[in-house]
């Protein structure tokens, strides 16, 4: 048996322990930070670790191939003309979708992301604004698109965001959900876990439509989807 055959499993184990230790230390540091500080930290350190998009592995072009095609079809069917992309992240994959909108507003809590998006992608019908979805006033639009955000928020923050969506008097919410998971767990904001919005504490009603993202990002959560609701049907 070569030296490498013996050492490789030990190295893999140590890498695994080191990764998990660093992750736990990061979560510990998030406990003392506010929402802006948490997502600034994730952005500036590229904590989600994707080579293409600072918004993480779920936002690269391979993982969004299906939704780049399916979202425009759904928006057309619903006659959506105004959309709030909440949050927009780096707008990396959505720039590829053929959205036939009168007005697109992308927003994010990380100021530098928004400035950069505005510089690169802003135009007469497309603007990017810096705001906190949990607390700031939101524009009224036909559809709020909220992908891969509530999964990173504590119950308290996610519920504040959903209440704020309702407050905007916008019509539809299209957002990430994982139908069929057993229960929703609370986390510190900045961590991740799958959520099913039809389970407590969200208790959303039946969906109007569902888009299966057909993701290959995680073998344990293949059911990653975008669920569609009318905001007026959601009771919180
Ligand atoms: C995983 S990325 C997803 C971005 C985009 N929706 C996508 O699909 O690529 C999550 C984004 O949510 C933003 N975010 C988290 N909490 C927020 C809040 N309270 N208000 C605004 N943006 C927030 C983060 O800064 C980050 O850019």
Cα 117 to chain centroid, rounded:
17
Is 6 contained in some domain? no
Is 74 contained in some domain? yes
State the sign of the Cα–Cα–Cα–Cα dihedral 170, 176, 181, 186: negative
Is 3 contained in some domain? no
How many separate domains does the chain show? Answer: 1
Q: Which domain holds residue 69?
A: 57-233
Q: Tens digit of pLDDT for each residue in 100-140?
A: 999 999 999 999 999 999 999 999 999 999 999 999 999 99
Q: How many CB atoms lie within 10 A of CB 208?
A: 14
User: Which residues are near ligand 1 (CB < 6 Å)?
Assistant: 35, 39, 55-56, 59, 87-89, 108-110, 132-134, 147-149, 152
What CATH number did the domain enclosing 63 receive? 3.40.50.150
Is 101 contained in some domain? yes
Q: Can you name the residues that pair with 44 across neighbouring β-strands?
A: none
Is 12 contained in some domain? no
Is 141 contained in some domain? yes
Average pLDDT of the residues in 53-76: 96
> What are the DSSP calls for 52-76, one per residue?
S-TT-GGGSTTTTHHHHHHHHHHHH
Is 14 contained in some domain? no
Ligand 1 site-directed mutation target among 34, 39, 104, most atoms within 8 Å of CB: 39
Nearest atom in ligand 1 to 157's CA: 19
Local structure of 116: helix, strand or coil: helix
> Quick one: CA torsion of 52, 54, 60, 64, rounded to 10 degrees?
-160
Is 11 contained in some domain? no
Q: Tens digit of pLDDT for each residue in 37-61?
A: 999 999 999 999 889 999 999 999 9
pLDDT at 15: 81
The structure's pTM equals 0.95
Nearest atom in ligand 1 to 85's CA: 6
Q: Can you name the residues that pair with 172 across neighbouring β-strands?
A: 143, 230
Average pLDDT of the residues in 18-31: 90
pLDDT at 9: 86
Nearest atom in ligand 1 to 55's CA: 2
Residue with tokens 């350190």: 45
């Amino acid at each position: 048996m070569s030296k490498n055959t013996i050492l490789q499993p030990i190295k893999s184990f140590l890498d695994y322990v080191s990764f998990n230790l660093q992750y736990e230390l990061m979560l510990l540091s998030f406990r003392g930070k506010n929402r802006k500080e948490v997502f600034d930290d994730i952005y500036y350190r590229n904590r989600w670790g994707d080579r293409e998009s600072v918004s993480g592995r779920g936002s690269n072009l391979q993982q969004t191939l299906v939704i780049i095609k399916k979202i425009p079809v759904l928006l057309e069917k619903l006659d959506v003309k105004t959309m709030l992309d909440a949050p927009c992240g780096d707008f990396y994959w959505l720039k590829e979708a053929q959205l036939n909108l009168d007005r697109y507003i992308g927003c994010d809590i990380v100021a530098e992301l928004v400035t950069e998006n505005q510089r690169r992608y802003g135009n007469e019908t497309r603007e990017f604004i810096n705001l906190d979805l949990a607390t700031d006033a939101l524009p009224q639009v036909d559809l709020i698109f909220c992908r891969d955000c509530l999964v990173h928020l504590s119950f308290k923050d996610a519920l504040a965001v959903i209440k704020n969506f309702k407050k905007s008097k916008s019509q539809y919410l299209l957002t990430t959900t994982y139908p069929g998971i057993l229960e929703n767990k609370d986390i510190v904001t900045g961590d991740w876990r799958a959520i099913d919005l039809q389970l407590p504490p969200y208790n959303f009603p039946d969906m109007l439509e569902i888009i299966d993202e057909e993701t290959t990002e995680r073998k344990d959560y293949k059911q990653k989807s975008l669920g569609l609701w009318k905001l007026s049907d959601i009771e919180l």
